[in-house]
Structure 1
Amino acid sequence: MVPRRSFLLAVLAMVLVAGAAAPAPAAAAAAAPAVTFVDIPGDGGVVLKANVVRPAAAGSYPAVVFPSSWGLNDLEYLAQAKAMAADGYVVVSYTPRGWWASGGEIDTAGPKDLADLSKVLDWTVANTPADPAKIGTAGVSYGAGISLLGAAADKRIRAVAMLSGWTDLVYSLYSDQTRHLQSSGLLALAAQIVGNPGPDLTGKLGDFQANRNVEQVQAWARVRSPATYLNQINANAPAVLIANAWGDSFFPPNQLVDFYGKLTTPKRLELRPGDHAIAELTGIVGLPNAVWTSVRGWFDRYLKGDAGGTTPGKVLVQPDNAGMETYGNWAELSTGNRRYGLGSIRALDQTGLLGGAPSTGWAKTVPTDRDTVANGGVVLLTNGISAFTGQRPQIWLPAVDRGRAGVWAAERPSSPLRIRGIPKVHLNLTGTSGDGSLVAYLYDLDRLGTAKLITHAPVSWLGGAAGSRSVDLALSAASYDLPAGHSLTLVVDTVDPLYYDANEAGDAITIAGGSYLDLPIR
C-alpha cells in the first residue's frame, strides 16, 4: 500500500484521471484553519483515511463531506475545505475504500461505498460540532457519484454538489452500444497504481475490455447509477447541484440532461467548456473558480439558509465561443429544430450537400477499418486544453480522406447559427454486417478549410441480421455559435481512437439516401 504522505508523484500522474491538483501554496495554507488527520471506521470495520477542517470558534455548524476522486486521496479538497471552514463549515474529506491507505477493495460507488459514506456521516455527527440537520456531500468525479448516490441511501444528506459526475454508468461505458476505450483504460490504470481493485473491479474491467458478459457488466453498472435510484432521491428531496463540461470524455453530458429533467428536488445544472474535471480544476488548488463559487453558494442556501446563495431552478450554460447564458430549464435552450438532409456526393470534390429535405437515390460507401483525421481527440487533453485556450480542436477538412469517410457541407449562412442542445443524426445503411460501428462529427468549417469540432458521438449495432438498417445517434450536447459565412459540416467514418468499434476488418458500410441531421437552434 502507498504510504499516506507519499502522495505527490501519484497526484501529479493522476491529475489527468481525476482532474485534481496539489494543495494550496504554503503561504495560503498558513492562514487557513488547522487540519486534523483521522481514521474513520467504515462498513465492516474498514479503516478510511480522512481529514477534518473545522471553524476555530465553538458552536454548531453545517457540515460538508467530500469523498475523494478516483485515484486521489483525502488531501484533494484541502484548499476548498480550509476556505469553507473559515466561512463556518465543518468539512470532512475521506479516501474511499480500496484507495491509497484506506482499507478494503475498490467498490466503484457500490453498496459498500454507500455504507461507508453513512458511517462517515455518523462519525462526523459524533466527533465534530456538525449540526446533524445540516449535512451536505460533494465531490469531483468518483466523489461526485458517491455523493449523489449517498443522497438516495441516507436521508440526512440535505444538499449535494456533483461535479463532473455520472448519473448513468451504463451510458458512460456503453453509450449507443459503443464501448469507451481510452477513458476506461485510464480508470483501470489508476486502480492498479494507487488502488486495490480486487477481483470484482478487475473482473468487470476485464469483461468490459473483452466485450464479454455484457449483461452482467451493465447490471453491475446500473447498481452504481444514480438514475436507478431517482425515485428515492426525489423522495428524500436533497438540493442537487450538477456541474459538468460539454466535452466530458468520461461522463458525456446527455445523461445529465435526462436526469436533471426528472429531478423534482431543488436543482441546478451548469455546463461549461472543457473535459472531465477541467472546469473545477483551478478551484481545487485554491484559485478563484466559478464552479466552486456556485458550490459554496449552494451550500450557503441549503445548509445555512442564506437566500442570497446560488439560485435553484436554473440551467446555466457557457457556450464554447459565447458568453454565459441562463435558462429556466433545458427545453428553453433551443427555440426550434432545423433538419439538414444528406445529399448525393458530388464527383468534383467528393462532398455532399448538407441541407434541404432528405433526398434519395444516392449512396456513400466507407471502409470499416480505415481511420481519418476526423476524430474526437485524446481523452482529457483535447477538450481540456480547449477550455483554457478558448479554441476548439480542429482539422484541415481537405485532409479527410473521402475514400474513408462521408462528408456533407451546408451552405454558408449570412448570419450566425446558434446551436443549443443535442444534435441528432439519422442514417440509413445498406450492406452492413450484424455488428458494426460509425462515428459522426459535426464541424464548423471556415473558408480556408479549417474545421473546428463542435460535437461528435459513436454508434454501434450488435447482434442483428446483416443487410439494411437505420441508426439514430444523439451527438453530445453542444452550445456553439457557428459564425456567419462558415459551413456546418458533417463527417461520418468508422474508426476513432476514443472508442472500441464493432466492425469487421476489410468490410464496408454504405450510407444511403433519406439520412439527415436534426439541429437544435436558438
Structure 2
Amino acid sequence: MNKPWIGGIAALALLVASASAVAGAFSKTYERIPGWDGAPMGALVLVPQGQGSGPFPLIVMPASWSLPNLEYLGRATQLASDGYVVVSYTSRGFWDSAGQIDIAGADTVEDVSAVIDWALAHTPANPNAIGASGISYGAGISLLAAERDPRIKAVAALSGWADLEASLYSNRTVSQQGVGLLVGAGALTGRPGPDLAQISTRVAVGDYDGAVQGFLPQAASRSPASDVAALNARGTAVLLGNAFNDGLFPPNQTIAFFNQLRGPKQLLLSQGDHATAELPGALGLPNEVYTATTRWFDRHLKQLRNGVDSEAPVRLSPRAGQWLEYADWASVQQGNTRLGLSAPSGLLSPTGGLIGSTASGWQSRIATDVPTLADSGVVLVSGLLQGIGVPVTTSIPLVNRTGAAVWVGAPSNTLRRLAGSPSLRVTVVPSQSKVSLFAYLYRMDALGVAQLITHAPYSLRGATPGRAVTLDWPLQAAAAEIPAGQRLVLVIDTQDVRYTDASDGGGTVTFTSPAATPSVLNVPLR
C-alpha cells in the first residue's frame, strides 16, 4: 500500500473520530503498530481521557476482509467514551497494513498478540481485562487468537466462521458467488499471499471447485472449531452473532461450534446476510447485536453485574425487534414435527405431499442440470433484502417439474413459528457419479406464491450410478412465521446459480422412500 493511501486513511480516521465523540472524553491517534514480524499494521487507537487513571479494559478489533480500520470507528468511539482502550486495525495484507493476505494464517493470528503487546506498552490498558472482537474475517481472527493467547478473556465474533471447510465447501458444494466475491475483493484491496494467489488463479478460469478443494488441507488450521478445547480450558467468554441467510459463513457451522463451548457463551441469530445485521452497529448506529456485544464486554472485562449472566444463552430473531429465547440449542430443536414425503402425482405438474405419517415404496424422477424457478438468490443481496422483509420469492405452480421434485404440506390451521434447523432424510438414485442437489423450504400462500425460508446444497461425488444413497441433509437454521392458511413446500432440483454444479446434463435423479429408511422432513415448528 503506497504512502498516499496510508496518509489518506489516517486523516479520514482522525476526522471521523473527532466528529463521532460521544459521552466520555478520549484521545484518538493513527498508529503504525508492528505486527509479530515487524510488518506495520495501520491502526486507530482510542484511549479514555478524563475518566480516571485506569487501567482500562482493552478491546482489539481486527478489520474485516478488504476493509480498513475505519470499519469499527463508530463503535470504537462509543467504547472509548465508556472507558475502554480500543485498537481497531487493518488486517495483514490489506490497505494500509503491510505483509500479505494469508487467509487467517499464523502470521495474521499472531498479529493480534503483537497488537496487544503494543497496547500494553503504550496505553493504560489492563493486562487482565483484554477482549477481541470483529466482523467476518475479524471475527474468525479474534477466535483463533483467543485460542492461542490466554490473555484474551472475552470474544465477540460476529458473522465469522468456526469451520472453514463447512463454510466454503458445504456438503461438498462450493458457493461460487461467495468465493468469487472474496477473491475479487482481496485482489482489489490487498496483496494476496500464496494460498489466495492459487485460489485466484483457479477462479480466473472458472475452476471454483478446484480453487476450494486445493485449499481444504489448510482449512482446519484456520478453523476455530479445531481448537475449541483451548477456549474451554480457560473458560473464555464467547459471544457469537450470525445471520440466518449468511451467504459466506452459514449459521449451522456456528451453531455446531457454540454447542462445543463450555465457558460463558451466547448465540445471537438474526435476519439478514453476511455482516448486514451488525454493520450499522459498527458504524455507531443503534443496533441490537452490538448492544449485546458491549454488555458482554462490560460483564466479562469490567466485571459489571449487568444481568448478562441471567440472559438466555440462545436468542433467535424472526424479525427486527423480536427475540426468541432458549436455554440451549437442544431446546430450540425440541419437539420437531416429522413430515413424510409422499409419492408425487399428476401428469403435468407432479407434486407430492408433506404428510403426518411416512409413505414408502414410491419413486419419482427428475432430469439433471435443468433450470427451475427454485433458487436461493444472490449472495449478500438476497439475504439483505430478506432481513428487511423482502425474501426470495417464487411461484410453486411454475416450478418446472422436469428438473425439480416438489412436495406440498397441508394448510396451517393457525399461526405457527419455525425456529431452528430443519433436516431432510431422502433416498436418491443418481444416474451419474456426480450430481449436485439443492433443497429449498418455502412457505406458500393460496395463490402458489412462495417465500424462501431456508435452503442447503448437497453434492454427491464418486457415487455409483444406479445405486440408492440415503442422504441425511440438514438445512440451514431459520426463524420464520407460517401464517394460518399457508403451507410448507419442499423443492429439490439440481441447479442453483449461487453454487457450482457437479451435475452434467442428460442425467437423472430418482427420489424414493424405502420402508426401512422412509424419506422425511423434520421441521422445528411450534
Say if 2:21 and 2:78, in contact at 8 Å, map to a contact too. Answer: no
Taking structure 1 as reference, are residues 473 and 322 closer, same or farther at Cα in structure 2, changes over 3 Å only? farther
Are 1:509 and 2:513 counterparts?
no
Matched with 1:420 is 419
Paired position in structure 1 for 2:270: 272
Aligned to 2:353: 353
Q: Is the 8 A contact 1:274 1:384 kept in 2?
A: yes
| Structure 2: gaps of 5 or more residues | none
* Residue matched to 2:209: 211
Q: Structure 2: how far apart are the matches of 1:405 and 1:432?
A: 16
1:332-343 alignment, distance < 5 Å: 332-343=331-342
Counterparts of 1:321 and 1:290, CA distance in 2:
9
User: 1:123–1:26: structure 2 CA closer, same or farther, 3 Å change rule?
Assistant: closer
Q: Please state how far the C-alpha of 1:203 moved relative to its aligned partner.
A: 1.4
- What secondary structure is seen at the aligned counterpart in 1 of 2:342? strand
Structure 1 contact 366–405 (Cα < 8 Å) conserved: yes
What percent of counterpart residues are identical?
43
Q: Distance in 2 between matches of 1:206 and 1:320?
A: 41
List per-residue Cα deviations over 1:176-204 (Å, max 9, x = no partner): 11111111110000110011012222114
- Structure 2 letter corresponding to 1:394: T
Q: Distance in 2 between matches of 1:358 and 1:204?
A: 45
Equivalent pairs, count? 510
Q: Is the deviation greater in 123-132 or in 279-288?
A: 279-288
Which runs of structure 2 are paired with 1:341-380 in the superposition (5 Å)?
Answer: 341-347=340-346, 349-380=349-380
Aligned positions of 1:205-284 closer than 5 A: 205-206=200-201, 209-212=207-210, 217-284=215-282
- Equivalence for 1:188: 183
What TM-score, normalized by structure 2, do the two folds share? 0.92
* Residue deviations 1:283-308 (CA, integer Å, cap 9, x gap): 12221111110111011001111011
Paired with 2:210 and 2:452, the residues of 1 have a C-alpha distance of 33
Residue 304 of structure 2 is matched in structure 1 by 306
TM-superposed CA distance for 1:334, in Å, is 3.5
One-letter amino acid matched to 2:374: A
Offset at residue 521 of structure 1 (A): 2.4
The one-letter amino acid of 1:77's match is Y
Answer whether contact 2:199 2:212 (CA < 8 A) is retained: no
Per the TM alignment, residue 216 of structure 1 is displaced from its structure 2 partner at its CA by 5.1
Q: Which amino acid aligns with 2:256?
A: D
Measure, in 2, the Cα distance between the counterparts of 1:214 and 1:5: 36
> Structure 1: where are the runs of 5+ without partners?
12-20
State the secondary structure of the residue aligned to 1:77. helix
Shift of the alpha carbon at 1:380? 0.5
CA contact (8 A) 2:179 2:208 kept: no
Moved more, 151-160 or 21-30: 21-30
Q: 1:90 aligned to 2:85?
A: yes
Displacement of 1:148: 0.7
Q: Secondary structure at the match of 2:488?
A: strand
Q: Which residue in the other structure is 2:498 paired with?
A: 498
Change (3 A) 1:67 1:23: farther
In structure 2, do the counterparts of structure 1 residues 271 and 403 end up closer, same or farther at CA, with 3 Å as the change threshold?
Answer: same
2:393 is the alignment partner of 1:394: yes
Shift of 1:27: 4.8
Aligned to 1:14: none
2:166 paired with 1:171: yes
Structure 1 pair 298–148 and aligned structure 2 pair: CA distance change class (3 A): same
State the match for 2:110 in structure 1. 115
In 2: Cα distance, 1:202 partner to 1:313 partner:
43
Larger deviation: 191-200 or 503-512?
503-512
Distance 1:346 1:233, change over 3 A: same
Is 1:43 aligned with 2:36? yes
Deviation of residue 329 (structure 1)?
A: 0.8
Distance 1:50 1:369 in 2: 49
Q: Where does residue 6 of structure 2 map in the other structure?
A: 4
Assess if the C-alpha contact under 8 Å between 2:208 and 2:500 holds in 1: no
1:404-457 deviation line (CA, Å, top 9, x unaligned): 211110111212232221111122112431111100000000001110111000
* 3-state SS, counterpart of residue 261 of structure 1: helix
For the residues of structure 2 that align with 1:89 and 1:313, how far apart are their CA atoms? 26
SS in 1 for 2:387: helix
CA 155–207 in structure 1, closer or farther in 2 if over 3 Å, else same: farther
Aligned mates of 2:156, 2:470 — CA distance in 1 = 39
Spell out, residue by residue over 1:201-230, the C-alpha distance to the aligned partner (whole angstroms, 9 max, x if none): 211454684533866522211110000011
Distance (Å, rounded) in 1 between the aligned partners of 2:326 and 2:155: 21
Whether the 8 Å contact between 1:267 and 1:313 is mirrored in structure 2 is: no
* Contact persistence 1:159–1:240 (CA under 8 A): yes
- Superposed CA RMSD: 2.3
2:294 matches 1:296: yes
Residue in structure 2 matched with residue 462 of structure 1 by the alignment? 461
The aligned residue for residue 18 of structure 1 is none
Alpha-carbon separation, structure 2, partners of 1:97 and 1:28: 26
- SS of 1:383's partner is helix
Q: Which amino acid letter does the alignment assign opposite residue 106 of structure 1?
A: I
- 1:54 counterpart residue number: 47
Tell me which amino acid in the other structure corresponds to 2:145: G
Indicate if the aligned counterparts of 2:163 and 2:220 stay in contact, CA closer than 8 A. Answer: yes
Pair 1:53–1:321, CA change in 2 (3 A): closer
